[in-house]
Amino acid sequence: MGYTLGNGNGNGTGRNGGDGNGGLPGVLLHKTPLREQIRSILRGWLVYGRMAPGDGLNERELGDQLGSSRTPVREALLLLAVEGLVAVHPHEGYFVAPVTREEGEDLFGLLGHVERRALVRAGLPSEVELDRLEEIDRERRDAGDPVYRMELDREWHDLLLPVERIGEVYRGEIDRLKNRAARYELASLEDEADQEGALEEHAAIVKALRNGQLEKAASLLEEHWLQGAAYARRLPVQEPFRTA
């Protein structure tokens, strides 16, 4: 017997399953622990801007919104704190973690290093895969929604670095870093100039792979992420983090 999260009023028209107004579709849970399902929903809210850096996160209020008791909400918040998306302040509670230039730069730099090594391990993609990489970027160029752009970017990188060729360790580390970096990625994808530059970098990577230049493509992939780090350095300075 599963559980149902939320009241089911969301019509599921949004790309992430919501109704665009914060409503949630009913989520039928079977084998996945409730805290994990709540973590997934809250992660989406944090990444896609429903909650701003520094906002307080009240267990009871979140539980009411999700149709859940406080305990799995608290467990989910603690898991999100491990991911770096939630800050925990003793005697004060949970808050949306701040966005900082230093963190953004570090995350993009780490992603570049890890994905470079992962691509060398993965080896050259097939011609069919390379064609699909180009197709994804054509779709992304026409996309006006930054959230959809990020979904397409994830699809592009996942196709370039399939888990069956890079292994679970690399895949797990890349996913962990990307979950934490998602807020920075989304900000960069709202910038049209940055979006166009990223697509040009993707094209250069695909060209190198078509030419059989795996090491060159891996270097270009790392440089691609370092351009993201440069974007993070241009982020506005956030006001000091306040808990009161």
- Which CATH number does the domain housing residue 197 bear? 1.20.120
Q: CA-to-CA distance for 86 and 82, rounded, in angstroms? A: 8
Q: How confident is the model over 49-64, as a mean pLDDT?
A: 91
pLDDT at 151: 93
Q: How confident is the model over 203-230, as a mean pLDDT?
A: 96
Domain boundary among 54, 74, 96: 96
pLDDT at 238: 54
Residues 50 and 85 in one domain: yes
Identity at 216, one-letter amino acid code:
K
Q: Which pLDDT band, with edges at 50, 70 and 90, does 133 fall under?
A: very high
The answer to whether 158 and 61 are in contact (CB under 8 A) is: no
Residues 105 and 65 in one domain: no
pLDDT at 173: 96
Residues 80 and 106 in one domain: no
Q: CA-to-CA distance for 129 and 174, rounded, in angstroms? A: 20
Share of the chain above pLDDT 90, in %: 64
Residue 120 pLDDT > 80, yes or no?
yes
Residue 63 placed within a domain: yes
pLDDT at 6: 43
Q: Which pLDDT band, with edges at 50, 70 and 90, does 16 fall under?
A: very low
Indicate which CATH number applies to the domain containing 33.
1.10.10.10
pLDDT at 18: 40
Number of domains present in the structure of the chain? 2
Range in 22-36, 42-56, 176-190, 201-215 the model is least confident about: 22-36
Q: How confident is the model over 109-133, as a mean pLDDT?
A: 98
Share of the chain above pLDDT 70, in %: 84
Give tens-digit pLDDT for 72-86: 999 999 999 999 999
Residues 111 and 173 in one domain: yes
Range in 44-48, 51-55, 171-175, 192-196 the model is least confident about: 192-196
Q: CA-to-CA distance for 187 and 231, rounded, in angstroms? A: 9
Residue 240 placed within a domain: no
- Give the N- to C-terminal CA distance of the chain in Å, as an integer: 42
User: How many angstroms from the chain centroid is the CA of residue 156?
Assistant: 13
Domain boundary among 28, 61, 96: 96
Most confident among 8-17, 58-67, 192-201 (mean pLDDT): 58-67
Residue 15 pLDDT > 50, yes or no?
no
Q: Which pLDDT band, with edges at 50, 70 and 90, does 48 fall under?
A: confident
Residue 170 structural domain: 101-233
Q: Which pLDDT band, with edges at 50, 70 and 90, does 1 fall under?
A: very low
Q: Kind of pairing, strands 93-96 and 27-29?
A: unpaired
Query: Which burial class, exposed, middle or buried, applies to 66 when counting CB atoms under 10 A from its CB (0-12, 13-18, 19+)?
Result: buried
Residue 242 placed within a domain: no
Give tens-digit pLDDT for 86-100: 999 988 999 999 988
Most confident among 27-31, 83-87, 143-147, 154-158 (mean pLDDT): 154-158
Give me 213's structure tokens: 């230049």
Residues 30 and 130 in one domain: no
